[in-house]
């Protein structure tokens, strides 16, 4: 086991980086510019000076996203934001869970989402489960990504914060770039960017293809993505039409018993586990300057997602007692039935069974928003006002059914014959559910200068959500759910010195239960793998209140460079939080429930020092994420559960999956005019396993991972680059849970597997390299 790491503020210095603009390996070293603006609402036209906002913000540009030569949005977030961490639930680096301030943006349906994500102003959270499919965004096309704490203007899901991603266009990114790269575990990749503008017309294209075999079974992934934008502008108007498309297959090996991973890191619990995403979205944006102080922004979008998820699972099945030849749920007389209620024979004659859950989502999301921005003086004082309205809708068809069959003895893959299970009483039955969502929002954000050194921020949003469900197979899933709420924000920013800002704010945000959660909220009728739906009671919407205090400092001239630091204190109290519970008789069956109150509080500190040759960024975050009321939860695979398979949470127990301490280090140095060398480090403390909300077992160990990278400019237009991740080949884990290990054979592990602890391992040492050509 990896020892638990404990961090303290003096280890990294008193403060660490808020927004270091790093050097792209293929570019010449220049003094890092100060990033001045950030979006105050989802539509990008609301940009305002960051120094006027009463919150800590992080802005990532191409220099951060493409730091090593291979662009990555999620990698940039993890390297640049110390209060962000990863839970690699699926075991695929293209689809991680990103935690920010203790809240999650995850691609896994059923995860409690707490970060709102926008792509060029359109809502990117999947409306069916509020999930975030990171693999759909081509990172080389990103102009900037701003990550900020809770802000009600960003609408639903901004409990912990919001990520606003802006894509490039021909006006902002002229010229061309071709990149070819490859390396460990069968990685091969290529990307193309080209932007051009002539007069008031512009065009931009970005495309990439990636193949990665991974270091574990069933981890092979392929991605193909493209983004195009056409733009037109004159003195008062700017119009853009953009299209983004993806055709991806992602291999997700999932969590595996620790004992098996220690013997063979490539092993899996069960398979196959693959996500197939086909996506296309179009969006049109317009900006019109009414006069020198007022502008109007508008957006319309339509997105189509087709997602298929064949997922191998364990099954606890055996011959029925006293009825040889008939299959029952193990240890019971509950006969397994197929379509029409027919009993399923024991076709493996006492062999080990496995299951294959086949899920499909066909979804159309659409929406429109408009906002008015005014910079007129109010009462003779500077004032920046944004008011707007938005609508986001969707139509989704969800299909799912479970098959049972055999299992390969070593690779643990599902094999036929594939008999469909139809047991509505146990929540394992074919389903076809249509959902319709309608989200309306009215928002405003106003920054008013009360005095020459004092800014007042007032913001708010009214959210209305309507969700309809209809069972297309005549089952019990149907109903109408409606939620509404007004969320306010108030904050002050005091420019105490030309180099020092002090700020504080309080705000409220909310999220409504998703169609996934509303359709699976009954302990009597649980859902298989979070997705098999039944008619269930209503759930309350989740409401969060966030308090934030902080300071930021900037010296344009310090020891031959620039110096910036910030420190930020935050606390978010969440009411009626939603979690999912496992059933005692089958850990593959879950249901959702309002669990009461939770809290995330902590501190983040950042320090940035940059000279024409040197860039140094240090970051530290401490997050105390706890339950605030007593809970009794089912956790039948937890070895510390009581005789009934239950665990008992008391106030103060830590929320699983959120490390208490995290530090980041990034250092790059331009050794010569052509050669750049750099290193990064991520240091993270331990975290409790999912399924151990009562903190009864040893947590997943902390770790320190070091990476190195370099680039060399062969000619002014050709650069080669290389990197080594996890250069010390440290063994570590990015996710932990529990599983029914006795349900599959472990013949290849000496002594078998008896420990129910499961994990996803971090990637061992890996090297990559490539060449970049600009034109």
Give the pLDDT confidence score for residue 294 in this predicted structure. 95
Percent of the chain with pLDDT over 70: 90
Instruction: Quote the tokens at residue 734.
Output: 């990015």
Whole-number Å distance between alpha carbons of 151 and 162: 7
Percent of the chain with pLDDT over 90: 74
pLDDT digits (tens, 9 = 90+) for 231-253: 999 999 999 999 999 999 999 99
Confidence of residue 477 (pLDDT cuts 50, 70, 90): low
| Angstrom distances, CA of residue 766 to CA of 563, 580, 667, 675, 705 | 33, 36, 20, 22, 12
pLDDT over 90 (residue 11): no
Indicate left, alpha or beta for 626 from its phi (over 0: left) and psi (-120 to 50: alpha).
Answer: beta
Domains of the chain: 14-315+353-774 (2.40.170.20)
Give the pLDDT confidence score for residue 9 in this predicted structure. 32
Confidence of residue 661 (pLDDT cuts 50, 70, 90): very high
pLDDT over 80 (residue 19): no
HSE-up (13 A, CA, CB side) for residue 331: 6
Q: Lowest mean pLDDT: which of 60-74, 563-577, 581-595?
A: 581-595
Q: Lowest mean pLDDT: which of 27-31, 37-41, 438-442, 676-680?
A: 27-31
pLDDT digits (tens, 9 = 90+) for 538-574: 678 999 999 999 999 999 889 889 999 999 999 999 9
The set of residues, in sequence order, having a beta carbon less than 8 Å from that of 145 and lying 6+ positions away, is 59, 60, 65, 73, 76, 77, 163, 164, 165, 166
| Angstrom distances, CA of residue 650 to CA of 204, 628, 631 | 55, 8, 7
Confidence of residue 591 (pLDDT cuts 50, 70, 90): low
Burial bucket for residue 19 (CB in 10 Å: 0-12, 13-18, 19+): buried
pLDDT over 60 (residue 726): yes
pLDDT over 80 (residue 694): yes
Max CA distance (Å), the chain: 88
Confidence of residue 112 (pLDDT cuts 50, 70, 90): confident
Place of tokens 């059923």: 110
Q: Which residue has the higher pLDDT, 528 or 95?
A: 95
pLDDT digits (tens, 9 = 90+) for 293-350: 999 999 999 999 999 999 998 888 999 998 889 999 988 899 999 998 999 999 999 8
Q: What is the mean pLDDT of the chain?
A: 89
Residue 95 has a CB neighbour count (10 Å cut-off) of: 25
pLDDT over 70 (residue 536): no
pLDDT digits (tens, 9 = 90+) for 177-236: 999 999 999 999 999 999 999 999 999 999 999 999 999 999 999 999 999 999 999 999
pLDDT over 50 (residue 173): yes
> Alpha-carbon dihedral of residues 523, 529, 530, 533, nearest 10 degrees?
-70
Give the pLDDT confidence score for residue 562 in this predicted structure. 95
Give the pLDDT confidence score for residue 519 in this predicted structure. 65
Confidence of residue 12 (pLDDT cuts 50, 70, 90): very low
Among 356, 350, 314, 316, residue whose Cα is nearest residue 336: 316
Please tell me whether the overall predicted TM-score, pTM, comes out greater than 0.95 for this model: no
pLDDT digits (tens, 9 = 90+) for 328-343: 998 889 999 999 899 9
Give the pLDDT confidence score for residue 34 in this predicted structure. 45
- Greatest mean pLDDT range, 61-75, 109-123, 363-377, 623-637: 363-377
pLDDT digits (tens, 9 = 90+) for 123-135: 999 999 899 999 9
Confidence of residue 583 (pLDDT cuts 50, 70, 90): low
| Averaged pLDDT, 364-370 | 97
């Amino acid at each position: 086991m990896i020892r638990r790491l404990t961090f303290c503020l003096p280890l990294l210095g008193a403060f660490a980086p808020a927004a270091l603009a790093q050097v792209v390996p293929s570019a010449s070293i220049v003094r890092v510019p100060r990033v001045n603006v950030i979006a105050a609402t989802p539509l990008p036209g609301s940009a305002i000076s960051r120094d006027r906002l009463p919150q800590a913000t992080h802005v990532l540009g191409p220099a951060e996203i493409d730091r090593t030569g291979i662009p990555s949005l999620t990698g940039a977030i993890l390297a640049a934001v110390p209060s962000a961490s990863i839970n690699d639930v699926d075991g695929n680096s293209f689809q991680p869970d990103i935690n920010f301030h203790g809240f999650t943006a995850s691609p896994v349906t059923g995860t409690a989402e707490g970060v709102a994500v926008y792509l060029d102003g359109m809502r990117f959270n999947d409306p069916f489960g509020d999930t975030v499919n990171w693999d759909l965004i081509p990172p080389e096309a990103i102009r900037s990504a701003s990550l900020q704490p809770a802000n009600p203007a960003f609408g639903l899901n901004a409990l912990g914060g919001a990520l606003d991603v802006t894509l490039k266009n021909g006006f902002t990114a002229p010229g061309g770039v071709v990149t070819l790269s490859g390396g460990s575990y069968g990685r091969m990749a290529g990307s193309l960017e080209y932007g051009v503008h002539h007069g008031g017309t512009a065009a931009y294209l970005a495309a990439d293809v990636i193949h990665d075999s991974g270091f574990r079974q069933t981890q092979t992934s392929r991605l193909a993505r493209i983004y195009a934008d056409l733009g037109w502008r004159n003195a008062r108007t700017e119009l853009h039409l953009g299209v983004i498309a993806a055709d991806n297959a992602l291999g997700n090996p999932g969590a595996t018993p620790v004992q098996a991973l220690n013997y063979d890191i490539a092993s899996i619990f069960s398979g196959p586990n693959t996500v197939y995403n086909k996506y296309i979205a179009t969006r049109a944006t317009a900006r019109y300057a009414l006069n020198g102080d007022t502008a109007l922004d508008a957006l319309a979008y339509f997105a189509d997602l087709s997602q298929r998820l064949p997922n191998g699972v364990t099954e606890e099945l055996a011959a029925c007692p006293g009825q040889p030849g008939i299959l029952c749920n193990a240890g019971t007389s509950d006969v397994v039935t197929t379509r029409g209620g027919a009993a399923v024979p024991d076709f493996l004659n006492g062999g080990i069974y496995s299951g294959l859950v086949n899920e499909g989502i066909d979804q159309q999301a659409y929406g429109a928003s408009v906002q008015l921005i005014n910079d007129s003086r109010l009462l003779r004082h500077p004032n920046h006002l944004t008011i707007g309205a938005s609508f986001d809708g969707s139509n989704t068809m969800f299909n799912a059914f479970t098959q049972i069959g055999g299992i390969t003895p070593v690779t643990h893959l599902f094999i036929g014959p594939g008999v469909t299970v139809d047991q509505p009483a146990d929540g394992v039955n074919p389903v076809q559910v249509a959902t319709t969502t309608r989200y309306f929002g009215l928002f405003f954000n106003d920054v008013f200068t009360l005095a020459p050194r004092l800014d007042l921020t007032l913001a708010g949003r009214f959210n209305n959500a309507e969700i309809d469900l209809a069972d297309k197979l005549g089952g019990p899933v149907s109903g109408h759910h409606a939620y509404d709420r007004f969320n306010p924000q108030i904050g002050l920013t005091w420019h105490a010195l030309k180099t020092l800002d002090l700020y504080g704010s309080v705000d409220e945000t909310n999220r409504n239960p998703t169609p996934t959660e509303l359709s699976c909220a009954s302990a009597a009728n649980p859902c298989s793998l979070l997705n098999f739906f039944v008619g269930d009671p209503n759930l309350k919407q989740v409401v969060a209140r966030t308090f934030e205090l902080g300071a930021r400092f900037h010296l344009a001239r310090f020891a031959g460079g620039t110096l910036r630091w910030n420190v930020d204190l935050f606390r978010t109290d969440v009411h009626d939080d939603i979690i999912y519970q496992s059933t005692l008789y089958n850990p593959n069956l879950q249901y959702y429930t309002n669990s009461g109150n939770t809290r995330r509080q902590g501190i983040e500190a950042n320090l940035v020092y940059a000279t024409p040759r040197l860039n140094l960024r240090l970051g530290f975050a401490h997050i105390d994420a706890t339950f605030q009321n007593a809970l009794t939860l089912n956790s039948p695979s937890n070895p510390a559960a009581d005789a009934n398979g239950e665990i008992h949470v008391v106030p103060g127990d830590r929320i699983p999956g959120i490390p208490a301490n995290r530090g980041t280090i990034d250092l790059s140095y331009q050794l010569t005019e052509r050669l750049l060398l750099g290193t990064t480090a991520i240091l993270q403390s331990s975290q409790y396993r999912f399924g151990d909300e009562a903190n009864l077992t040893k947590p997943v160990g902390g770790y320190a991972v070091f990476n190195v990278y370099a680039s060399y400019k062969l000619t002014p237009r050709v650069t080669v680059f290389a990197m080594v991740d996890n250069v010390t080949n440290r063994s570590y884990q990015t996710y932990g849970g529990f599983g029914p290990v006795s349900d599959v054979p472990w013949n290849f592990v000496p002594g078998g597997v008896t420990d129910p602890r499961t994990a996803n391992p971090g990637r061992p040492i890996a090297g990559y390299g490539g060449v970049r050509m600009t034109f």
